[in-house]
Structure 1
């Protein structure tokens, strides 16, 4: 039950309904907007909310759901249902295009991901649109709304003949008109025109006898007459006959098409109801997007647990003006059923009450409501409201009498499933009596377990709420220092009207304020002053909390910046190391090639002294260049002139050649540089700190260039293709790992692994492993003619 009858106007829902109507694309959707009403069935409300929420998701995803040609063809279907009647071309066009929209919407929604948009899918579960019907309509009328020339062979022939005859007629009449212009019988700018469905030429009235033919009309001034020349009578007659024949054939086609359409009318009515519902749901979804509407968790019983709710109309108005709307959070449950809101005038009490009424009404009409995600709501069987001036001269009712009439309705009808909204409770009569009656009514409503939101200034009601289970005080906060309302609803404490404080601060004479204070009494003044002090302390605490929150945000931001910087440095380090390794590979490759070339040159010159010297000189020059590019070792040269002994790590002074002393004889030291033993003067050596690489005996026996030759040989012998077909998964993975590691070490740019197709197990193992290797730049299948997905190509960094 909704009370009173003008509830929607009082609460603002009439404006919401009007906005929804404007958002509809067709009269089909507007019909559903007008029929929208307050619902009390939990399952039905939940289904409507789900439909709207799903369509809102579609709109937010910019999905290409058809939103054109939402035609209302109800009148056309009614005419088509009459045997013998036929539809005009424009009606056929509207039916064809709207049926396409219906079919496209059904196809789009049913084709969405499984498990999503289930409510919208269920909406069109029993709706069918035969493709053959759309094809039949399309055969006659094109997408521009014109009749197709080839709708039937006869229509096509008639159209062709008509065009041919019209072409002959135009040529003849142009010839006649040209002659008449030359003779001065017609104006110089005259052109053929149509009169009575016949082609005619304009002739100056004084020369009308000069042109043989039939006069069809004359101008308003009488200076020009329109004559059909005698020589084109037959042509005009032929064209008229063709036009009549064309029209008869078109009517025959439309009659047949209408007869075909008549067989589908029951299915079509259902389809157009679906189109209207889609339009209606889309309008609700569009409105929800405007007001940031959400679908709350819905319970079968009365319940309100809204987070950051706001009045939708106020929100839209403020947004247009660039102002913020202060939201409110509200909880009404079985333990806390009635909220009593107090506070100063113009502080937002009535807006809060209207917000509760409008939002709950919207919800039970199947609309998403402007609350934060995670909110909860329930279903009420009744909503009663007492708001505004209901004075009636006709019924001889004063404002207070009207309030009492409403109270009578509330206390006799409202129960545990009702929501009661009362604004300015108890006003309109002598305060003491009004407060007493209001308290008695409040007690009765509380005893009936009613849910409600009530606004008041009466202290006795605040005190009653403070000590009565089921009722809770609420206050509209007020900045008493600046005399400004904050429009914030605070639950748990009563609010002050701040009447004395406001009077004092706006400059009312002090003796009047003091007199008013004495009349009110010390207890009342102390009570309001306590509320004022609490409000001041709360504002101060909130300021400090905001400062702490700001500092916390700055701290989090700093920590994030530090973390991002650390991650960036770590990534940069890895990139630099990869780049260094790459350069080292290229450097090693160049060094090996240079050594091989030098050895080959010495062999070809049969160790001739001059040629050998020249080759050594080139090698030393290349070595010096390489040393410039090599990274410096981790150890350091020791300061001072310490005596060298066997086993010391040393380097040549001024160079980056490092080795270990094997023995010392006088002023000469025997030093092992890599795998080469050399005699060096002690004065040319200096000791270095740290350990040189620990070379094994085999490595010490090998020379540096022989090691280079070994790597070069491995590069030359390396086969970049690995065949693992027929291998067990574990063995295959081991081979792939070793093969990949060697390819990376040797600097091979691309490798190929043949695993075959089979069940795809080896392919999956190979690709999973290669995806995990950082040095792999990309993966792909071999070309189809060379094995396709039976082989994997990997490009290495």
Structure 2
């Protein structure tokens, strides 16, 4: 890809953003060297890596690669047998420990997550735990070797401590004894690595020993007493032995490390590669970007694409298509309307996609693989080269015509500008016609009306415009494909206060054909606004219907709850009646037995018996109140009922329509409004109605049943590319139709993407009473891009 285009489309700023997301120096270097590829296999591999890393970021957060320092010079020294210093060994140790942490991060938490393309990189990491533990136990810091690094070192340091203790003991006795009156201060100090005492200059001769230093005023001499010279010499000798032993320890560690040079090098390369991949994923997360699809047919489909260098809160997403129904797109409209931003967005997203970066747009966008992208954007006037704006643009055009082919994307900003309008328009049409004839995908912005007519009259050439609100005199930055832009010069001038007589005179200066053409554009613009308003009204109606359906479902839930409550209360009351009757009967039997023993007269027994009879009648009456059910005029048989027959359900006191044949036990389904219940045939009575209609079937005047389209509804609905709100509205109606058509299972195809659409659909399904359960499809049946829904 030519460097001039990369600079023109500000690709370097994207790379600068990418570099900030890498944590290791070598990872940042890889990011800095990233350039677009024209190999579709390589592009898809890079995109898949970015996608899988982004999925891991959402699931597990970000791993750290900060310790992946460049240790290649150290490995080269090990190769030739050199020993490493403390800093180099610690850097290798840090690398191995970081490899262990990253390898642990790369393990899948459960089997449901599945493998991805990053698994080989994570699996290739070998932390070499014994080696890193050995280095860490020997080297405590860049300035300290552990005593236990070797038995020899431990012995030397013990002897050094013992010698130091002897020196302190002897010097302490001198400070409190014979030398006390000769000393400037009663302290022990170090000079040139040897223990000394500060002696007043006038007593220099009274203290035998070696002078190592003198104060700046000359009043103090730092003298090493003769009695401790030997001990100081012993410490210096031990220090030399310590240094030699440390060199032996470092040489041993270097030898152990040299046995794993290849493994350490692979660890470094894998960590750097992973850092590079996760930097791309972090950039995608920051931009709320998605993975695009790629083709080699020159087809571009960008859905709600955003320029990545414009504030996310201010940028207006655009929809762009190119290379399918048309190969040349001509964008017109006023200045500051977003034409140039549209060009740069298409070019920059193409470069990002071919570099393995996700693009800030909706999922399932499609990009073509281009070998070269040529962009002539902005004012490239050059005083040094004596080039005017027109000349500089023409220089670029000449280069494009010489080099571009069918595998190129060409972007022109204000083609033909900077010269006579008539000649500029003619030249622009000629250039675009040549590129169009070569099958080169081209986008161009212009002010010339002649190019609008050219786009209308030429096959596979399309107009587009950037919307402008004349009322507010502000652009909306929306790209409208299929509608040529209107200059709005007269309308804008009028809004700004230019007198009408001047505007009327100006209108006389333009030809009737041009005026008529502008009127057609205005008419198209008004029609578009009307259609958009009607669409907005339709969306509002859909929202109202959705609210009404929700309220109806809530009311149905309340009715079901009341029904359940009434049934429970009736059962409890019936149980109480039977319990009271049983207790009264038991009491009566006890009384009869008592009467038999006590020889009570017959009249008393008859009175008790009559009271029992009255009590039983009362209980029977109460029980019948809860079980009372009107008897049908005629006991129905299975052959008496047909699909679509109107019936009355006694237990629910509702009218409905037969929607299934009775089973061998006499149970069948009856549709009562939005409620579908399973009842027994004995609970039904046929009723007469002139016309019965349900969502799934209709009864004609002749009494024959006519099945509507919902009975033959597809077992699958595709919601790819829709927003959550759009998908839920469509899915709601589809599930109603499918449920009323007696489908047991349906497939909802929503795609993978970022998972937002899948999550929204699952949240909606959890609230549906007629959905028994749902789950993601199995591998090979759609995987995470399809949800299987089972009805009750």
Tell me, yes or no, whether TM beats 0.5: yes
Partner residue of 2:647? none
Larger radius of gyration: 1
Partner residue of 2:711? none
Partner residue of 1:38? 36
Correspondence 1:339 to 2:329: yes
Partner residue of 1:750? none
Structure 2: how far apart are the matches of 1:97 and 1:599? 93
Correspondence 1:413 to 2:411: no
2:349 to 353, 359, 364: 359
Secondary structure at 1:474 match in 2? strand
Structure 1: how far apart are the matches of 2:375 and 2:88? 48
- State the Cα RMSD in Å: 4.4
Structure 2: how far apart are the matches of 1:166 and 1:587? 103
Deviations 1:402-440 (Å, cap 9, x if unpaired)?
A: 211221222232222110011111101111111111100
Query: Deviation at 1:514?
Result: 3.4
Correspondence 1:59 to 2:49: no
Structure 2: how far apart are the matches of 1:679 and 1:397? 117
Structure 2: how far apart are the matches of 1:514 and 1:550? 41
With 293-302 and 532-541 compared, the bigger mean Cα shift is at 532-541
Structure 1: how far apart are the matches of 2:591 and 2:190? 105
2:84 to 83, 87, 101: 87
Structure 1: how far apart are the matches of 2:279 and 2:529? 42
2:252 to 243, 253, 256: 256
- CA gap 1:255/1:467 in 2 versus in 1, 3 angstroms: same
Correspondence 1:500 to 2:433: no
TM-score, length of structure 2 as denominator length: 0.69
- CA gap 1:59/1:670 in 2 versus in 1, 3 angstroms: same
Structure 2: how far apart are the matches of 1:340 and 1:549? 31
- CA gap 1:679/1:57 in 2 versus in 1, 3 angstroms: closer
Partner residue of 1:765? none
- CA gap 1:264/1:341 in 2 versus in 1, 3 angstroms: same
Structure 1: how far apart are the matches of 2:572 and 2:223? 96
Partner residue of 2:74? 76
Structure 2: tracts of 5 or more residues without a match: 628-792
Secondary structure at 2:401 match in 1? helix
Query: Deviation at 1:178?
Result: 7.1
1:483 to 441, 457, 473: 473
2:233 to 209, 234, 237: 237
Partner residue of 1:528? 518
Query: Deviation at 1:596?
Result: 10
Contact conserved, 2:196 with 2:224, CA < 8 A, in 1? yes
Query: Deviation at 1:297?
Result: 2.0
Deviations 1:46-90 (Å, cap 9, x if unpaired)?
A: 11111111111111113474545222222322333332x221112
- CA gap 1:454/1:166 in 2 versus in 1, 3 angstroms: farther
Partner residue of 2:438? 448
Partner residue of 1:656? none
Partner residue of 1:779? none
Partner residue of 1:278? 274
1:303 to 299, 303, 314: 299
Correspondence 1:385 to 2:375: yes
Query: Deviation at 1:504?
Result: 2.2
Correspondence 1:153 to 2:157: no
Structure 2: how far apart are the matches of 1:254 and 1:415? 61
- CA gap 1:439/1:229 in 2 versus in 1, 3 angstroms: farther
Structure 1: tracts of 5 or more residues without a match: 610-664, 695-797
1:423 to 409, 413, 417: 413
Structure 1: how far apart are the matches of 2:241 and 2:622? 113
Structure 2: how far apart are the matches of 1:176 and 1:302? 95
Partner residue of 2:453? 463
Query: Deviation at 1:506?
Result: 1.5
Secondary structure at 1:305 match in 2? strand
Partner residue of 2:262? 266
Structure 2: how far apart are the matches of 1:310 and 1:578? 59
Partner residue of 1:777? none
Query: Deviation at 1:259?
Result: 2.4
Query: Deviation at 1:257?
Result: 1.8
Structure 2: how far apart are the matches of 1:180 and 1:465? 111
Contact conserved, 1:93 with 1:145, CA < 8 A, in 2? no
Contact conserved, 2:466 with 2:479, CA < 8 A, in 1? yes
TM-score, length of structure 1 as denominator length: 0.69
- CA gap 1:210/1:23 in 2 versus in 1, 3 angstroms: farther
Partner residue of 2:660? none
- CA gap 1:670/1:582 in 2 versus in 1, 3 angstroms: closer
1:328 to 318, 328, 332: 318
Partner residue of 2:361? 371
